[in-house]
Amino acid sequence: MDQILLEDCLESGTLFCNNPECELHVRVGSPGVHGIGNWAVLENGHTFGRGRYGNIFLCDACGLRQVRELAVIQSAAR
């Protein structure tokens, strides 16, 4: 069910990754973007998935970075 929801969101124009500094900050139909779904393959052959982090979608790399940064912030607050 979640897979269907994520694909529907991407197909309706949602950004693959909501990080504006990420090369995967693209939509279906953007120049150089081919295909649909929750996997992106870069020209260098690297494949990324994406997930929902709170209320935004991030690629695997940006999502992992966000989780790590949040953990550091929470550790510092203790």
Tell me the residue ranges of DSSP E strands in the chain: 39-41, 47-53, 56-59
Domain span holding position 7: 2-77
Closest CA to 41 of 19, 14, 23, 67: 23
Provide mean pLDDT across the span 4-26: 75
Read off the pLDDT of residues 20-63 as tens digits, 9 standing for 90 and up.
Answer: 999 999 887 777 777 667 888 887 888 889 888 888 899 999 99
How many domains in the chain?
1
